[in-house]
Structure 1
Amino acid sequence: MTASLLHISPDAIAASARRVMGRCDELARETSMDGGIERVYLSPEHARVNRLVAEWMREIGMSTRQDAAGNQIGRLGSDPRGATGGDEPALMLGSHLDTVPDAGRFDGMLGVLMAMEVVRLLRVRTDDQWRSALGFALEIIAFWDEEGTRFGTALLGSSAVAGTWKDEWWKLTDADGTTLRQAFLEFGLDPGRVGEAARRPDELIGYLEAHIEQGPELDRRGESLAVVSSIASARRFLLTVEGEARHAGGTPYDMRRDALLGASEGALAVERICRAEHHIIGTVGRFEAFPGGVNIVPGEVQFSLDLRGEFDGERDRVWHSLSGELDEIMGRRGLRWRAREIHSAAAVACAPLLQDVIREGIGTTTATAEDPATIFSRAGHDGMAMGGITDIGMLFLRNPDGISHHPAESVSTGDVAHGIRALAEAVLNLSHARTT
């Protein structure tokens, strides 16, 4: 095992892990959904959770504020934006508090709550001399709308912090027709001030996030923790297949131009091509036929494609292969097809130094073998936005069976304890690396 810099008793870390699990349960009760968890951007639940999390931040000695995009922030150290002035850069720890519909209780929330326990332990460890011991301020950020559940565009909160907010987002609408601009006003935020959420690169020395793995790799390895090497690149498309709608009974097969069968063959091609590739994942998540009558040959089908890969070039090469396959399928069936790209995000690499300090942090635990796993994240995270203004690093925790975005999502108290120690040690290792 790697030598520890933390010098905190296992009992104290175990108590921190139990507190995290209890607070995950507490946050799960803040939901708009009967019998499940759903918590979306700029909702009453958003406001209540921000107030609760701010109380927990103040409990560990942090000053708190809600930024101009609705993210909740806690800070230890002089704030260049505050009345005390100062120019002390911060290491930012955090994750998000919003959810998908019918969510689990750990995706996002776990990282925010673990960050609080890291701050608690570091303050004890340094006997209130944490600032001189570390050489930088500490911030915890609880992002909102990482999932994109309400308005259909993900990473809104972290994009505001990264200074990449887009004016066209103000016209986005939710399922009730409420625009993002209206929702800002109803929440008590000023759309004209959203730019104030943006942080300068010189204000930060890095961003660290702990998160459950949203896949089974750690579970299959029998290990608790992993270093994240990068966050996957992603492209999303809305594909339309056009044929001809005709009477189901009166149209023989040799005259049919069935858009549903062509689109179905295309969806199967996504699976076949992506399974043959290394680290490329393609998913058809939505599939809708028109006009939709049981006695009508479908004349049009719309379906989605989510394409992810470790590297942008590999992802784009697979899209080129899929496009050629769709050309062949639709040409053979007498159909037409087109694609509209609705999302594109480049892969974001975690900084080598932050990977190293997390690896050293894992090494102080009994959570893994001597050489911790290093894996890339197939899921998106707020670090994709934050990578535009600062170095990022991520720690993954084992999620039994790898299930996520589902009520069965899980993590053990023991693994959370290992993760808290590893993250706290990573902060101390980073401080040591910056002063040597």
Structure 2
Amino acid sequence: MVEAETTPGERAVARCDMLGEPPFSDDVGLLYRPWLGPGFIATVEAISNWMRQAGMTVRQDAAANLIGRYEGSTPDAPALLFGSHLDSVRDGGRYDGMLGVIAALEVVAGFHERSERFPFAIEIVGFGDEEGSRFPVTMLTTRAIAGVLEEDDPVAAFAELRDVDGVTVEQALARAGLTPRGMTAAKRSRNDILAYVEAHIEQGPVLEAEGLALGVVSGIAAQRRFEIRLHGMAGHAGTMAMSLRRDALTAAAEMVLAIERIGVAGGDRDGLVTTVGSLRTWPGVTNVVPGNVTFTIDARAGTLATRDRAVEEILAALKEISERRNVGIEIIPRENLNPSPCDPGLMALMETAVEDVTGQPARVLVSGAGHDAMIMARFAPIVMLFIRCEKGISHNPAEAVLSADVDATISALGRFVRLFAEDHSRTQGSQFS
């Protein structure tokens, strides 16, 4: 059925839709594809077959990232690397991350059908863990490829991180025949990669509001993430007096509202947003005052100064609330990601490609969402292409795209490769090496 679709865009959308169902999801009735889970393994197998059909050689690296390679006119030449992620959040959408991988695959399939080669290879990487939906840290496998895994998280620390079922990173990797220490072997040589390109749904409403199919990203916002652990005193809900309670959940509730208030007070200041996305109570039963609560904080802004100012205000508020309510607090830093600007030269090529395909000047915009590209920017020059999504909805089963927009995406990416090849030939690779 998938192969009967009439355009590359329709085929790409159909493939993403297919990958949104079991066995490509770990849950029935919703999409959940965590790194190294059964759905992830099945997805790798399916995309590997499509990559081979597109003339690519296929492998998985020491971090379980999927990598397809389309050789250039010169064997073993450096590669122009396309990528995005294969994992999903729980009850997520079908196009977040996945569409970037599948659209790039369609680009290569077109080159293969025309026997078209370039002075460089083209590689596509499906990153295993961008979302952090299984373990409480994001982009582990992207960090491995970029060679910054140990710089960000000592192996001994991330190896012991646990998912909700108590499985550690080390145990999950062992089931795949891999090890945390071995993940560092996924590091790519800087000399082997010319640049990194990522297509992704916008996850925002700007392109749809302006009637545009595509946009070029100028950079990715700065992020800070924390895990907060509160320690009160559990007790019987019927006998513990209100005045004597050390209720971790009511303390957490006040903290959540303080985090929201600080984000709202920032207004549109450099795109500041603050979010509590996860909250867990213990023991979590009806007739017991909660003794322990764990929740997360995600703070983002277009500049470090705005982000860090908000984080300082948030942490001060949390400490004041915990002291006043006599509840212990642990503040555990989980992520610290700087703003990631896209490469001006690559942006210029992508803007030209978008204009050539759509007939309109390219809309340039900042990404408030994090992407694999923000880690890859520490390793190679990056560029991103945004694709319109319905109502800007993402991380939600209501995610939707137009197949015509995906056709435009595939055409723009193909045009970008040709423009990159022309520029590469003129400069003999000096601009991007």
TM-score, reference length from structure 1: 0.84
Moved more, 387-396 or 262-271: 262-271
Q: Give the superposition deviation at 1:406.
A: 1.6
* Alignment RMSD: 2.9
The answer as to whether partners of 2:216 and 2:350 remain within 8 angstroms in 1 is: yes
1:159 partnered with 2:143: yes
Q: Distance in 1 between matches of 2:235 and 2:163?
A: 35
Describe the shift of the 1:276–1:434 C-alpha distance in structure 2 as closer, same or farther (beyond 3 A): farther
CA contact (8 A) 2:25 2:38 kept: no
For 1:178-217, list aligned pairs within 5 A: 178-189=167-178, 193-217=182-206
* Equivalent pair of 2:258/2:314 in contact (CA under 8 Å): yes
1:39 to 33, 38, 59: 33
Identical columns (%): 39
Where do 1:163-312 residues align within 5 Å? 163-166=147-150, 167-168=155-156, 169-189=158-178, 193-240=182-229, 260-277=249-266, 278=269, 279-288=271-280, 301-312=293-304
For 1:412 and 1:371, the matched residues in 2 are separated by 20
Q: Using a 3 Å threshold, how does the CA distance of structure 1 residues 246 and 106 change in structure 2: closer, same or farther?
A: closer
- For structure 2, the residue ranges without an aligned partner over 5 or more in a row are 427-433
1:400-411 matched pairs, under 5 angstroms: 400-411=390-401
* Residue identity opposite 2:101 in structure 1: V
Match of 2:353 among 344, 358, 361: 361
Residues 26 and 428 (structure 1 numbering): CA distance in 2 closer, same or farther, change over 3 Å?
same
The answer to whether the 8 Å contact 1:200/1:389 transfers is no
List alignment gaps of at least 5 residues for structure 1: 1-12, 80-84
Alignment of 1:435 onto 2:419: no
Among 124, 127, 142, the alignment partner of 1:140 is: 124
- In the aligned structure 2, how far is the partner of 1:120 from the partner of 1:34? 31
1:94-133 aligned at under 5 Å gives the runs 94-123=83-112, 127-131=114-118
Contact kept? 1:288, 1:302, Cα under 8 Å: yes
Deviates more, 1:408-417 or 1:44-53: 44-53
Who is 2:429 aligned against?
Answer: none
Q: Verify the 8 A CA contact 1:42 1:187 in the aligned structure 2.
A: yes
| 1:173/1:335 CA distance change after superposition, 3 Å | closer
> C-alpha deviations, 1:328-360, integer Å up to 9, x for none?
555666766552222222222211112211111
Distance 1:290 1:49, change over 3 A: closer
Deviation at 1:427, TM superposition (A): 1.6
User: Aligned pair 1:18/2:10, yes or no?
Assistant: yes
Query: What SS does structure 1 have at the residue aligned with 2:40?
Result: helix
Please name the residue that 1:371 is paired with.
Answer: 361
Asked if 1 retains the 8 angstrom alpha-carbon contact of 2:76 and 2:121, the reply is no
How many angstroms apart in 2 are the aligned matches of 1:89 and 1:122? 18
Matching residue within 65, 69, 76 for 1:71 = 65
Does structure 2 retain, via aligned residues, the 8 Å contact 1:350–1:391?
A: yes
Segment of structure 1 superposing worse, 18-27 or 177-186: 177-186
Structure 1 position 389 matched with structure 2 position 379: yes
> In the TM superposition, what is the alpha-carbon distance from 1:200 to its structure 2 partner?
0.8
Q: What is the CA–CA distance in structure 2 between the aligned matches of 1:202 and 1:180, rounded to whole Å?
A: 30
SS at match of 2:19: helix
Letter in 2 for 1:378: G
In the alignment, is residue 90 of structure 1 matched against residue 74 of structure 2?
no
Call closer, same or farther: CA 1:263–1:137 in 2, change over 3 Å. Answer: same
- SS, match of residue 314 in structure 2: helix
- Report if the CA contact (8 A) 1:43-1:187 is conserved: no
Give 1:430's aligned amino acid.
Answer: F
Preserved contact between residue 230 and residue 377 of structure 1 (Cα < 8 Å): yes
Amino acid of the residue matched to residue 182 of structure 1? Q
The match for 1:398 is 388
| 1:357-381 deviation line (CA, Å, top 9, x unaligned) | 11111112337xx432222222221
Structure 2 contact 71–117 (Cα < 8 Å) conserved:
no
SS of 2:357's equivalent in the other structure is: coil
Shift of 1:199: 0.4
Q: 1:419 aligns with which of 409, 418, 421?
A: 409
Aligned length: 412
Query: Do the aligned partners of 2:72 and 2:117 also contact (CA within 8 Å) in 1?
Result: no
Report SS of the residue matched to 1:130: coil
